[in-house]
């Protein structure tokens, strides 16, 4: 069964610290993987999209990695800011399909 699992479910860090969020998937064959940031009460906003051949992609303080062999992705946030407090959702698209498989997200809270 195609699944996307994210860990941890929630995370609390202090402002200025780094953190890493994990995404494991069983979707096969694989087309691409996206990370979205969702502020409370708002729609998700795309951070990165990675295809099979990409290992690392950065967007400012956000760096996503992908290991297609182990079917794992991570989102690393550097020098966290209060505005990073949000839910981060991992979404996988299978190959030869237009179905998106959503993870349930990691809720990140950054405190001063």
Applying CB under 8 A, the residues found at the interface with another protein are: 31-32, 34, 36, 41-46, 49, 89, 91, 93, 98-100, 102-105
C-alpha 80/C-alpha 103 separation (Å) is: 22
Let me know: does 48 contact 59? Beta carbons within 8 Å. Answer: yes
CB 50 → another protein: shortest distance, Å? 11
CB of 91 to another protein, least distance (A): 8
Give min distance, CB of 13 to another protein, in A.
22
Distance between CA atoms of 5 and 99, rounded to whole angstroms? 16
d(CA 2, CA 6): 14
Q: Closest separation between CB of residue 15 and another protein, Å?
A: 25
* Spatial contact of 89 and 102, defined as CB atoms under 8 Å apart: yes
């Amino acid at each position: 069964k195609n699944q996307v699992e994210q860990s941890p479910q929630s995370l609390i860090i202090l402002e200025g610290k780094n953190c890493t969020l994990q995404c494991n998937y069983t979707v096969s064959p694989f087309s691409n993987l996206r990370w979205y940031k969702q502020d409370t009460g708002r729609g998700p906003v795309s951070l990165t999209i990675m295809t099979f051949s990409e290992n690392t992609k950065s967007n400012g303080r956000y760096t996503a990695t992908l290991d297609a062999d182990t079917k794992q992705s991570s989102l690393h946030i550097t020098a966290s800011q209060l505005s990073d407090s949000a839910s981060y959702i991992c979404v996988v698209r299978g190959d030869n399909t237009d179905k998106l498989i959503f993870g349930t997200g990691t809720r990140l809270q950054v405190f001063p």
